[in-house]
Structure 1
Amino acid sequence: MKTERNRESGLELLRIIAIILIVSHHLVVHCPFDLWAEPFCLKRLFFQFLYRASGKIGIALFLLITVWFLADKEISLRQAAKKIWSLWSILFFWNLSSLVLQFIIDPTSVIASTWLDLLFPLTRNEWWYVSSYSVFMLLLPFVRTSLQKMGKRPHLQLCILMTVLWGLLRFVPGANLGMGLNFVGFCYVFTLLAYYKWYSLRLSRFALNVAGLLGLFAIVIWNAVLSAVWVGDADNLPIYLEPVQDEWSIPILAVSFALFGLFRGDAFPFKDSESYCFGIIWCLSDY
């Protein structure tokens, strides 16, 4: 019982870290500061990390936590539809609340697309994560059953194929191959993590540390070298940084999975991590 509690509290702490990473990413992306116009220095390198990599690591952490529990859970299509309906209801409530406030402040800003966003927040991709999660949940009963029935060897071959297509080949700047902020990424991560969990693969704490450090090293060095030698229009630089810090890239997944592995189960070093969770929450709320 104690081990389960520690595991849960470790993942709760990891969720808080993921939130901080994502908020930091959005603060840099949506601020008026022109990051790419700045001369290369350590400060710019730090903000470059927040500009892209931090948010992608946070997203991957949330998804890893979610699919870890879904991998062993039998979910029917009807259950998935109920989850999506519940999610839509929550979105509708908050969308309606914001729409009323928007109408009071500026009635002319409420147009046809505003009403469509209110009624169809999932299909119009108003929030990409929620839309991708909904499609993933609808496909999950079939994806999970198919992966279980194919067995260990075909499952491993599929993992290797996916990693080559959406991992190695993405090191080519501008490559996409259907991968991005969509449900394909969710299925990709689920396939990899399901194999890891179902077939009892376990990495030592040392191996997790090495994987995380290598992923972080790749992100930092790639950013530092390209930024230092880049000539020409700085606005084009992010295209060549995407291979190591885009969503679901190998370095991003390496760092995210290393953190996930270290914060769950016996690898998590703190015995009473609830105090750490509440401490961080208190600090954030006080700030």
Structure 2
Amino acid sequence: MISKGEKRNSSLDLLKIIGMFLIIAHHYYVHGGFAPVSVDNISKGRIFLEQVSMYGSWSCDLFALITGFYMIGSRNDGKKRLKKILQLVVEIYFYAIVIFAILAYKGLAAFSFFNMLRVVFPTLWGNWYIIAYLLFYLLVPYINPLLNQLSQKEYRRLLLILFLCWSVVPTLTQLDKSWEFSNVDFFFVMYAFGGYYRLHIYGKKKYANVWNALVGMICFGIAIGSVALCNYVGIKWQNNSILGCAQYLMPLYSFVGVIWALSWFAFFANVNFYSKLVTYIAGSVFGIYMIHENDFLRPVVWTIWKPNALQTVEPYGQFAEKMLVVFFGCLLIDMARRWLFWGIGKLLGSIRNLIN
């Protein structure tokens, strides 16, 4: 929570923008309709997509960290929280209804009972982050008191337990799926880390920010190296199973990804600047996510319009094009939506004043 008179740190808003670019890159690959990787279809372009996709998955951790950083100190203001939840719900339904209506009109989505259910319950299909975000707005009044009452030593012990149980062990055992948790669970883990940083580190401990960048770059190198190594060995031995391990570290709970996210989060949190433009663009990041991850629009973006799967050998040009079109196209749409909602809010306010 930002106190009155305190300017928002735009460096974390910049990190949100970078994170959303990486998430779009991740979606380019995982939603692109690519055939399972094998020695018959592996290429330098495919390896490139595997690498950038990994950072997009890890970027989800950044958003949970930032949420914890800002919300750990939020007060139990029921009216304000309810207003925020209603705003989010209205935004979710606005995009769910408008996108479906446009695609149905264009013949890209069919009117059916099942599709109506997908519109009425948009968060149940492929939007785990939205579910986690809404859930945390409901649970914050109960989670924050528990975290705030912990001493720094107790909080550190809690984080160690969470890191071991929700990150290290699942990473080491993921091949047999013997120790798994949901993405919503892991949102809490990263929320707790972000809260700890705000309560016990931010503005209190001075240290060289270069160490944050160094650790982040080491994790970056490990990710690139693991993908390259698995592909090299898989191709050399003509083994599809080894090729399939190239993205072993991709899950957002991967301990390498968690350390990567913590490092870059701490780095940006220690770079203080204010930019009205950066903060305004960051205010549309949630909208950008909702638009391009809409259950009906997703296949149109990745498999119908210039199908991703047709570009595996030299995907770089189309990859860059879609990254820019999706981000800035969705940004302009959400900016228009914000202006529309602002105008409606002003109109309703004027009507209310006239009635009163």
> What TM-score range do you get, normalising by the shorter chain?
0.7 to 0.9
- What's the CA shift for 1:35? 6.9
Offset at residue 102 of structure 1 (A): 4.0
Structure 1 counterpart of 2:47: 45
How many angstroms apart in 1 are the aligned matches of 2:248 and 2:32?
24
Q: CA 1:55/1:103 → structure 2, altered by over 3 Å: closer, same or farther? A: same
Who is 1:134 aligned against? 134
The residue that corresponds to 1:281 in the other structure is none
Q: Determine if the alignment matches structure 1 residue 234 to structure 2 residue 240.
A: yes
2:208 aligned residue (196, 204, 208): 204
1:106-137 Cα shifts (integer Å, max 9, x gaps): 49822222222222223x24422111111122
Shift of 1:235: 6.8
Instruction: Within 5 Å, give how 1:141-220 maps onto structure 2.
Output: 141-169=141-169, 170-174=171-175, 175=177, 177-180=179-182, 182-200=183-201, 202=205, 203-220=207-224
| Stretch of structure 1 that moved more, 222-231 or 161-170 | 222-231
Distance 2:108 2:27 in 1: 28
Q: Distance in 1 between matches of 2:276 and 2:84?
A: 28
TM-aligned CA distance change 1:204 to 1:77, over 3 Å: farther
Is the CA contact (8 Å cut-off) linking 1:21 and 1:58 kept in structure 2?
yes
Supply the distance in 1 between the matched residues of 2:246 and 2:181 (Cα, whole angstroms).
Answer: 16
Answer yes or no: is the 8 Å Cα contact 2:69–2:197 preserved in 1. Answer: no
Question: Larger % of helix: which?
Answer: 1
Instruction: Decide whether the 8 Å contact of 2:64 with 2:194 is kept in 1.
Output: no
> 1:15-40 CA distances to partner (integer Å, 9 max, x unpaired)?
22112211222222233444723666
Residue 28 of structure 1 pairs with residue 34 of structure 2 = no
Q: 1:139 to 1:107 in 2, by over 3 A?
A: same
- The alignment's TM-score, normalised by the length of structure 1, stands at 0.79
User: What secondary structure is seen at the aligned counterpart in 2 of 1:245?
Assistant: coil
Structure 1 residues 236 and 207, CA gap change in structure 2 (3 angstroms): same
Greater gyration radius: 2
**Unpaired runs of 5+ in structure 2?**
1-5, 281-323, 330-356
Paired position in structure 2 for 1:119: 120
Give ranges in structure 1 of 5+ residues lacking alignment: 279-283
Query: Contact 1:173–1:242 at 8 Å: present in 2 too?
Result: no
Equivalent residues of 1:25, 1:54 under 8 A apart = yes
Q: Distance in 1 between matches of 2:56 and 2:138?
A: 26
What is the TM-score when the length of structure 2 is the normalising length? Answer: 0.65
Deviating more after overlay: 131-140 vs 24-33: 24-33
Q: What letter is aligned with 2:95?
A: W
Contact 1:218 1:244 in 2 (8 A): no
Q: How many residues align?
A: 275
Partner of 1:221: 225
The question of whether the paired residues in 1 share the 8 Å contact of 2:215 and 2:263 is answered with yes
Q: Which amino acid aligns with 1:166?
A: W
Q: Which amino acid aligns with 1:234?
A: N
- The Cα RMSD (Å) is 3.5
Q: Kindly tell me: are residues 60 and 107 of structure 1, through their superposed partners in 2, closer, same or farther at Cα, counting changes over 3 Å? A: closer
Question: What is the Cα deviation at residue 249 of structure 1?
Answer: 1.8
- 1:155·1:195 contact (CA, 8 Å) conserved in 2? yes
